[in-house]
Chains A and B, each alone.
Chain A
Amino acid sequence: MIQFLLHGFRSVFHGSRAYWLWVSALLILVLVGLNAYARQLAHGLFTTGMGDEVSWGLYIANFVFLVGMAAAAVMVVIPAYIFKDREMHKVVIFSELFAVAAMIMCMAFITVDLGRPDRLWHLVPVIGHFNWPGSMLTWDVIVLNGYLFLNLYVCIYFLYTAFHGHVPRQGLYLPVIFVSIAWAFSIHTVTAFLFQGLGGRPFWNSGLIAPRFLASAFAAGPAFMILVFTILKRLQAIAFESTVIDKVRVIVTVSLLINIFLAGSELFADLYANSAEAIHISLLFGLHGESLLAPWIWAALGMNVLAALILLSPVRRQPLALMASCSMIIIGVWIEKGLGFVVPAFIPSTLGDFVQYVPSANEVLICIGIWAFGLLLYTLFLKGAIPIVNRTEIHPD
């Protein structure tokens, strides 16, 4: 084990100038974020753009988005393990490592959203006072931590056995893989239930939220993995056949279309019936007076539709077009989850007050800091894992 850790330590300290530049840049952003968080701790959430009307903002939005990104690792795990795709096996560990990094980012976003992070221990079962099964937030604590540990276990087990040149024992990982597949669905479903169970917020109170969360996550998550795989291949860090990208691309395309369909279906029901929710939607799209959200949501919609068109046309085989559409999907879904889902439920407020939300600079810095921290972790994970993975490629199984 010491050998294994030492190797990881050596790997992350052993890199090109570009690597050091990337790592240092991320570190600086992490520190800037940490500084902003210290300011928030000192003066309270007053330093954010949130208020009693819009009481959840960028933090919860990023949290929801990242739960989806983490859950999406399963879309590379399923082809690898259930359909026994050998090429997928070469890259599956990289999506599992991303799930670990994404889960850690999720927990960081929840922590910075708390008014009293010093009382986090109240949320620990037995020691604290855990409102389970009543509160969906306690379910989320369980499934998020569970998913983190499942993925952490799989990653460490594989890398550790590979490092020592052993063959992984099926009994020690296959059951965990299958549990983690089911678990991946649960993290995003529970996160959706967190919102859709609230009767007082008609915008969230819809049975379509969980399916929409899954569909959008299974578009954005694998799209991110396409970017990572392609970049790593370009850097000649890893090798795999292009069928991997083709398969993940099909998953992205189908999920994206389902997501657009579900969103459209929901929009129709509420706008046609002119339900209580319709006011939130028409405001969101700028149909009801001034809305700060409207330009964003139109941009998100445009990006998602354009990405879908690219993915459906023959252009999709061009790596550059594919990368562009993957980026548009990631950004589009990020906007859709945050500015298009979390924030509009608060505008208007439950008493009909129209208060807009603009995140503060400090709040944005904290978000950037957490993202940089997650990407830094993922970079270091990859740096440690890639040499081990490549070594086993030379002596397969």
Chain B
Amino acid sequence: MEKDTKPSGALSRREFITGMTITLAAAGAGVAALSPLSGAEETPSLDAFLQQHYKRLTVAEKKAIFARLEAEIRSTYGVKAAIADPPPMDGVEFAYALNIGRCIGCRKCVYACMQENNQSRDPQIQYIRVLKMKKEGRGIDLQSAVHDYPQNEAADPDYYYMPVQCQQCKNPPCVKVCPVHATWQEPDGIVVIDYNWCIGCRYCEAACPYHARRFNFTRPHIAPEEINPHMAYLSNRPRYMGVMEKCTFCLQRTRVGRYPACAEVCPTGARKFGNLNDPQSEIRKIIENERVYVLKEDLGTVPKFYYVLAK
């Protein structure tokens, strides 16, 4: 950057050749630099690239997309899967209650969830995190919790075990911050993600106070024989590299009258699930009669995941 005495003077031949050589070399090297792209784990098809937001799709478009996804699953995993799109049921708002007095921290729910919802096994993605906290220490205190205790440390009577998963907040911070409406709350209160619309900015993951969201840092890997072929578009269909995912209260099951996989598998009956709007439901009885608490009540997120301390 020396002083330019002849700013508009003509370029000398030598300068021109040097400049062009550097430019061309840079362009060539640029192409070479991009070579790792040929080994890409996933390349979106044109249809996938142009696909519109879930809420903007017509019934016919959805049908075509589901068929395309089913074909993709067949060619990737060799599995004949069916992608359904069960609608929320009228007048239903789902809620969960978990009895800490009964939970033994066996983590059967963690693995049942993974099998049901087709999470990546390598790297392993889990929606439920079980926290182990000493009863006579600081009690229920997140920062003194153990997250990765070995399996033989389950069912210790000196400890509380508190599983945490998506709290399906009435006021979900994750939905508010998403820049592209890729995640939203359904009428039955379930927060869902359109895996074909998420741009992977992870703002929702930063906003979530419950560590409920997971990101596909690489391409999810599942053995074909472990695929659950009963899928829904907004929940357990296979995910892509670079998108978020989360617990959906197993909407592919719960919207057709079944229990979530975690509730069904629980050996101690610590997990209860039901319709908040039904006064006769078990979940309403628990909330009305037991001592319940929600996590981080002061944040105003209004979770629909109630913890109970009962026997």
Contact = CB atoms under 8 A, between A and B. Distances in A.
A50 interface: yes
Interface in A1-26: 7, 10-16, 18-20, 22-24
Interface of A: 7, 10-16, 18-20, 22-24, 27, 31-32, 34-35, 38-39, 41-46, 48, 50-53, 55-56, 110, 113-120, 122-123, 128-131, 134-138, 141, 194, 197-201, 232, 235-237, 279, 345-346, 348-353, 379, 382-383, 386-388, 390-391
A50 B300 CA distance: 28
Contacts of B296: 200
A53 B202 CA distance: 11
A16 B15 CA distance: 10
Contacts of B19: 12-13
A37 B41 CA distance: 14
Contact of A44 (B10, B36, B131, B218): B218
A89 B16 CA distance: 33
B310 interface: no
B150 interface: no
Interface residues of B, number: 79
Main secondary structure of the interface of B (DSSP, over half): loop
Interface in B191-210: 197-203, 205-210
Interface stretch (B73-81, B97-105, B137-145): B137-145
A383 B15 contact: no
B216 interface: yes
Nearest to A288: B143
Given A18-B2, A20-B18, A131 B178 contact: yes
Interface in B288-311: 296, 299-301
Interface stretch (B26-34, B62-70, B278-286): B26-34
Given A24-B22, A38-B33, 14 more contacts: A13-B16, A23-B22, A42-B41, A45-B218, A45-B242, A53-B211, A113-B202, A115-B202, A123-B179, A130-B179, A137-B179, A199-B209, A200-B301, A383-B1
Contacts of A27: 22, 26
Interface in B28-62: 29-30, 32-41, 44, 49, 53, 56
B2 A200 contact: no
Given A55-B206, A135-B179, A45 B2 contact: no
Contacts of B141: 352
A115 B15 contact: no
Nearest to A351: B211
B149 interface: no
Contacts of B206: 55-56, 198, 201, 345-346
A346 to B, nearest CB: 8
B25 to A, nearest CB: 9
Main secondary structure of the interface of A (DSSP, over half): helix
Interface in B254-295: none
A122 B242 CA distance: 15
B182 interface: yes
Contact of B177 (A55, A135, A387): A135
Q: Which are the 5 A-B pairs with shortest beta-carbon distances?
A: A115-B200, A387-B7, A115-B242, A200-B209, A352-B142
A20 B23 CA distance: 12
A366 B296 CA distance: 37
A13 B300 CA distance: 59
A34 B30 contact: yes
9 contacts: A10-B10, A31-B26, A31-B29, A43-B40, A52-B211, A119-B180, A129-B181, A130-B180, A235-B2
A134 B223 CA distance: 40
Nearest to B22: A24
Nearest to A24: B22
Contacts of A55: 202, 205-206, 215
B8 A387 contact: yes
B176 A122 contact: no
Interface in B125-162: 129, 131, 141-145, 147
Contacts of A349: 211
B229 to A, nearest CB: 25
A293 B178 CA distance: 29
A9 to B, nearest CB: 9
B214 interface: yes
Nearest to A353: B147
Nearest to B242: A115
A207 to B, nearest CB: 16
Contacts of A131: 178-181
B286 to A, nearest CB: 23
Interface string B173-187: 100111111100000
Contacts of B244: 115
Contacts of B32: 35
Contacts of A134: 176-177
A115 B16 CA distance: 41
Contacts of B34: 34-35, 38
Contacts of A12: 19
Output the residue of A48, A55, A388 with the most chain B CB within 10 A: A55
A114 B199 contact: yes
Nearest to A128: B180
A173 B35 CA distance: 45
A232 B2 CA distance: 9
Given A44-B216, A352-B144, A122 B199 contact: yes
Given A52-B214, A201-B206, A42 B40 contact: yes
A260 B216 CA distance: 39
